[in-house]
Every structure is written in structure tokens, then in C-alpha cells.
Amino acid sequence: MASERTGVIHDIGYRTYTGPREGRWAIVAALLRHGALSTFGFGRSGRAKVLPFGLLVVTLVPAIVFVGILSFIGMDAELLNYAGYQQVTSGFVSLFVAAQAPVLFTRDLRSGAISLYLARPLGAATFALVRWGSLVLAILAFVVTPLLVMFFGGLGAGASFPEEAPKLLVALGGAVLLAVLLATIGATAASLTMRRGLAIGGTIVVLIFGLGATAILQEIGREQNQEAAAAWLSLFSPFVLVDAVQHGLGDATSSFETPPDDPATAALLLLSALALAALALLMLVRRYRRRGSR
Amino acid sequence: MSVIRTESLTKRYGSTSVAALDGLTIDVGPGVTGLVGANGAGKSTLIKILLGLLEPTAGDAQVLGHDIRSDGTAIRTVVGYMPEHDCLPPDMRAIDFVVHMARVSGLPPAAARERAADVLRHVGLAEERYRLMGGYSTGMKQRAKLAQALVHDPRLVMLDEPTNGLDPAAREDMLALVRRIGHDFGIPVLVTSHLLGELERISDHVVVLDSGQLLRSEATGSFLADTGVVLVEVIGDRGPDGVDAQTRMGEALAARGVTCRPRGALIEIQPAAPPGGSDGIPEDREAAVLQLDTLRDLVRDAAADLGLGLVRVQPQTGRLEDVFREEVAG
């Protein structure tokens, strides 16, 4: 283009779009990615990145300390308890879910952007599920990062790969289950209210108090010699449940009082938890459908 | 070609006997169509049904040839929607948000960015598009809302009260923009407003709804047809007997056999007994022109005889508001 006329704006009129349009799955993928990134504050204001990244850094501290101890003091690699890591940092993980689930749910309802999304091709049910999927991915990234730091840091400090890899795999499976359960709880709380504070408070109550109450009740159950029944109490807290499933099915060390000892109970627990999550998702979809018709 | 076609469309909420839409049959073509009705007349319900978000109780409708019951996805792919209420996340920049909306409508990344920039320029958001939308004025928000409705190059846009909350200057800009979309961009527009004066200026066709029923669906021109009434305004001195210029003119006209009466500072001349038709407006166009010419000459002569200045001689056209008022009352 001629360089001397750069300051001129040409009105080229309205141009129609005749290029290709993406199908349903490409739209789902784009929305999934956008949602997961905006949970960490990408594409939003600078301030929106502070909390998620701050929490991520704090959550990484124990992993870095473990790796440090391993490399400088040269302790046993037994220190690397992948499966138990989420229970150590459960407070921060809960805060992350509580604070960031509203980004994907409450924010749409509050700003009214929900009516724009529902007027787009995907439709209410798919949109609700994609939002949930974005939250699962974001939580997964949040809980898996410390595990990977610990794994690769441990290998660097001389831990043996064949010994560590199976333990990591069990923990990764647990992380996926944890992300699914936490996202379902976070999505349910955040889609019920237009107030961010209420959504955060509700999620914190369910996750942190649920964890505390479950731990106490299991302790009581153990003292009363009702360990089998106490194992079922893990359904009240995703952290305890993931621990129970990892212990029962993956033979990981449990951090709680009454983990199920036989795989059958653990499998039943897993199925019950997934059924509860599916029920919550069904209600979420119904709420979004109703929302669209209003 | 018909853009929107509904056939006995009915919507009842719950088990109530009151219908939000009651056997509505309309046919909307290209250009700008105004959807008029009081609050609760069923305008928003109609839009929700047309977008496939709300299931009608009875009746059928097609949007751009797609059935609303079975083809909601196809409809939402080719329709742009601008809701009445706030719908912009405050912590996003307009450019990012419009690109995102283009992606959600199925545009590939590069095309989404290009079209978002294009469309934001068309709606008049220049440098502001790089700012967070939370800090926007109402006018800028309305423009951003319009941009997201256009970004995927829809074949129809539905605008719900686009001038809501705007100051007079911003309102003019928005109306001009809506007109451009319908005529220059070639995208059919369905626009709602409760301000009838606005719609009569920008729309080619007007649909009037009342309590979910169709009152009228006609070309805007026929609402605004010549009523045959002529308004006259004069300026001049009071007569020797202290009578003002307007009264003197009125008396002079009456003396010449013209039916007239004062209306504010104006004189309203009723149409003379028509040569052809019986409803006051001559059927024959030539006769009507001739009649108006004769009347103008007569008014001019009367003013000249009295030595008064003639300020205006204006045929009065109908107004949408009058039509609406009489339809709702009747």
C-alpha cells in the first residue's frame, strides 16, 4: 500500500462473510478452551489473574519443599505421596473452586451474557455442559500441576522412574475424579445465585466444612467400631472420597481414618459419587433450559 | 421472499388462560420491520419463540425457511440477537468479547478477529474497543451489543429496544445504524420499540401487537398516508377591530366557503367535499393534486387580500401514534 496515505481511513462498506463455518464440535472446543482460560483470568482484566495464580503458587509450595528436601537432604523418595497431596492442599483447592466457579456461571447470569450464549447455535443443554467441562479442565490443571512438579523434581533428585510412575498414575486418576466432583459442586453453587459472594461462601461451606465434618464423623465411627458404615461417609466430601477410591482401587496410602479396605466397596463408592454428580449435572442443564425460555 | 412467517402462533405460560401470544399470523419480508406494542404485548415472547428458545403452545413458524421446532440450531446460526437488557461482561474488552461471540457462532479464529474489528468499526466503536466494557457509557454498551449481533454476518437480526436509555444524539445514531443494516448491509431487521415516532422513521413495514394479537401489519407508508387535512399558519398585524391575524385569516377562509377551525397557532382546513370518493380523500390521484392546488391558490389569495404573511401551508400526514391509539381504543 502507498506509504504517504497511511492516515486515511477508507470506508470499505459492509462485507459479508462467505467463508467456512465451523461445526458443533469445533464450537464446543473453542468455548471449552475460552472458559478454562478465563477461569485463570486470561482474556479478562489484569486483576482477574491475581487470585487464581496466587492460589496456584501457594499450592505448589509443599511440592517444591518436598523436592528441595529430597535433593538437598537426600531423604527417601517415600516422601513423595502423590495420592495424598490434594488432602494436604485441600484448603487452597477449595478456595480456587469457590472463587473461580462463579467466573463461569455466576458471571454469565449476573452480566446477562447468558442470553447471548443461549441465542447462539449450541443451545442451553450443551452450553451448560461445556461450562462445566471448562471448570473440570481448570481444576484439573490446578491439581495436576503440583503432582507433575513433584514427579519431575523427584526424578531430577534421583527417584526411580519405575517406582514413581505407578504411584503418579493412581494420583492422576484421583485428580480427574476430584476435578469432576469439585466442578459439579462448584457449578451447582455458582449457577444457583447471581451473587458471587454467596456462590463463594456456599462452595466453601460445602467443601471445607464438609471435609472437616466427614473427618470427625469417620473418627467417631472408628471408635464405635462401625468402620464399614463410616467408609460411606466419604460421600459427603470429594477429598475423602477420592482418597477412599485411591486407597481401595489403587492401593494408595490413605490420609483418613476409615478408608474402605476392599475394592468392591471402593468401586461402589465411586459409582455412587458419579451418580450423584450426574444428577447434579442434570439439574444444572434443566436450570439453563428454563433460563433460555425466560 | 418471506423472512419470518408465523401461522396461528400461540403461547400460554403455565396453565393460565391468558395468552402471551394468541393466534398470531404474520409474514415479515426483507428491509426493516418494526414490531410495536405496549409492554407485555408479546414482543419479547415472539422473539424467544423465533429463536427456538421457547416452545409455542400451538401454531407454527418459520425463520428464513427453518422450522422453529426442529431447526433451532440452524436458526440461531444465521440470526443475530440484541437483547433489551444488559448482557456484556464488565471485565472483558469489547474486541475480545465480540471475537469470542463470533467463535461461539462458528467462525474460524482468523475470520472472527477480522470481522469483529470490521463490525466494531461499523457500529462506531473505535479506540474504545480496547477498553473494559464495565466502563462504557450506555451508548457504547448498546453499540457493543449491536456489534455482537452482527459479527457472524447473520441473515436476519432481531433488535429488542435498541434505543433504550440513549440520549437524543445517541438515539439518532442508533436509528441511522439500524436503517443502514436493513438497507445498505442488506440484512433484514426486526426491531422493537415502544417509541412509535422512531419506528415510523426507520421501518419499511410495521407490525402492531396488542395482548398477543395482531392489530395491524402494513407497510409504514400506508400508516403515514395523506389525511387530506391542510395546516395553515399566518403572521401579520391585528386588524382595526383588534382581531389577531389567525382569526382574520380563518374568517376570510370561511367566507370563501372553506371548512376550517383553529388548532393552536395553526388553522386546520378540513378536506372539501371530494369530487370522487366519499371518505374525504379523493380516489383519483390527479383530482387530489388538482384539489390541493386550488386550495393553495385560495389560501394564498386570502392572505394577500388581508396583507398577511403566509408561514406555512402543509398537508398533514398520518402518524403511527394516531393509528396505534385508535386501534387500541377501538
- Which of A31, A116, A289 to mutate against chain B (most B CBs within 10 Å)? A116
Say yes or no: B84 and B218 in one domain.
yes
Contact check, Cβ <8 Å, A17/B107: yes
- Which of A115, A289, A291 to mutate against chain B (most B CBs within 10 Å)? A115
Residue with cell 445517541: B170
**pLDDT tens-digit map of A23-58:** 999 999 999 999 999 999 998 888 899 999 999 999
pLDDT of residue B330: 53
**pLDDT tens-digit map of A202-218:** 999 999 999 999 999 99
Q: Which of A15, A43, A293 sits opposite B92 (nearest CB)?
A: A43
pLDDT of residue B212: 85
Is B326 within the bounds of a domain?
A: no
The pLDDT of B277-285, averaged and rounded, is 52
pLDDT of residue B143: 95
Say yes or no: B76 and B194 in one domain.
yes
End residue of a domain, out of B154, B188, B223: B223
pLDDT of residue A41: 92
The DSSP 8-state label assigned to residue B128 in this structure reads G
Contact check, Cβ <8 Å, B103/A113: no
Contact check, Cβ <8 Å, B88/A34: no
CB atoms near residue B152 (< 10 Å) = 27
Q: What CA–CA distance (Å, rounded) separates B95 from B91?
A: 12
* CA–CA distances in Å: residue A36 to residues A39, A76, A136, B209: 5, 37, 8, 44
The confidence band for A8, taking pLDDT boundaries of 50, 70 and 90, is low
On the question of pLDDT at B280 being above 50, the answer is no
From B7's Cα to the closest Cα of chain A, the distance in A is 20
Say yes or no: B127 and B241 in one domain.
no
On the question of pLDDT at A89 being above 60, the answer is yes
CA angle at residue A96 from A91 to A99, to 5 degrees?
120
Say yes or no: B314 and B214 in one domain.
no
What is the span of the domain harbouring residue B315?
226-319
From B176's Cα to the closest Cα of chain A, the distance in A is 15
Q: What CA–CA distance (Å, rounded) separates A172 from B46?
A: 50
Say yes or no: B208 and B295 in one domain.
no
On the question of pLDDT at A3 being above 50, the answer is no
Q: Which of A26, A45, A120 sits opposite B91 (nearest CB)?
A: A45
pLDDT of residue B272: 64
Is A33 within the bounds of a domain?
A: yes
On the question of pLDDT at B4 being above 50, the answer is yes
Q: What CA–CA distance (Å, rounded) separates B165 from B179?
A: 19
The confidence band for A6, taking pLDDT boundaries of 50, 70 and 90, is low
Most confident segment among A9-18, B176-185, B254-263: B176-185
Contacts of B48 in chain A (CB under 8 A): 293
Contacts of A124 in chain B (CB under 8 A): 53
pLDDT of residue B134: 94
Q: What is the CATH number of the domain that holds B263?
A: 3.30.70
Say yes or no: B71 and B199 in one domain.
yes
End residue of a domain, out of B223, B257, B290: B223
DSSP state letters, A10-24: P--------S----H
Q: Which residue has the higher pLDDT, B25 or B322?
A: B25
**pLDDT tens-digit map of B29-73:** 999 999 988 887 888 899 999 998 888 999 999 999 999 999 999
Is A144 within the bounds of a domain?
A: yes
Q: What CA–CA distance (Å, rounded) separates A289 from B37?
A: 27
Q: What CA–CA distance (Å, rounded) separates B250 from A167?
A: 103
> Do B62 and B4 form a contact (C-beta atoms < 8 A)?
yes
pLDDT of residue A11: 60
Say yes or no: B193 and B252 in one domain.
no
Look at chain B and count its residues: 330
The confidence band for B323, taking pLDDT boundaries of 50, 70 and 90, is low
When divided into structural domains, chain B yields a total of 2
From B169's Cα to the closest Cα of chain A, the distance in A is 22
Contact check, Cβ <8 Å, B132/A107: no
Contacts of B105 in chain A (CB under 8 A): 21, 27, 120-121
Output the average pLDDT for chain B: 86
**pLDDT tens-digit map of B9-25:** 999 887 777 888 999 99
pLDDT of residue B226: 67
When divided into structural domains, chain A yields a total of 1
Say yes or no: B147 and B22 in one domain.
yes
Q: What is the CATH number of the domain that holds B168?
A: 3.40.50.300
- Those residues with Cβ within 8 angstroms of residue A100's Cβ, 6 or more apart along the chain or in another chain: A39, A40, A51, A52, A135, A138, A186
Share of chain B above pLDDT 90, in %: 46
Q: What CA–CA distance (Å, rounded) separates A80 from A66?
A: 7
Q: Which of A14, A113, A293 sits opposite B89 (nearest CB)?
A: A113
pLDDT of residue A1: 44
Q: What single letter denotes the amino acid at residue B69?
A: R
Contact check, Cβ <8 Å, B122/A14: yes
Is A207 within the bounds of a domain?
A: yes
Is B329 within the bounds of a domain?
A: no
B296 in A contact zone (CB under 8 Å): no
Is B201 within the bounds of a domain?
A: yes
What is the span of the domain harbouring residue A267?
24-292
B78 in A contact zone (CB under 8 Å): no
Is A9 within the bounds of a domain?
A: no
Say yes or no: B135 and B123 in one domain.
yes
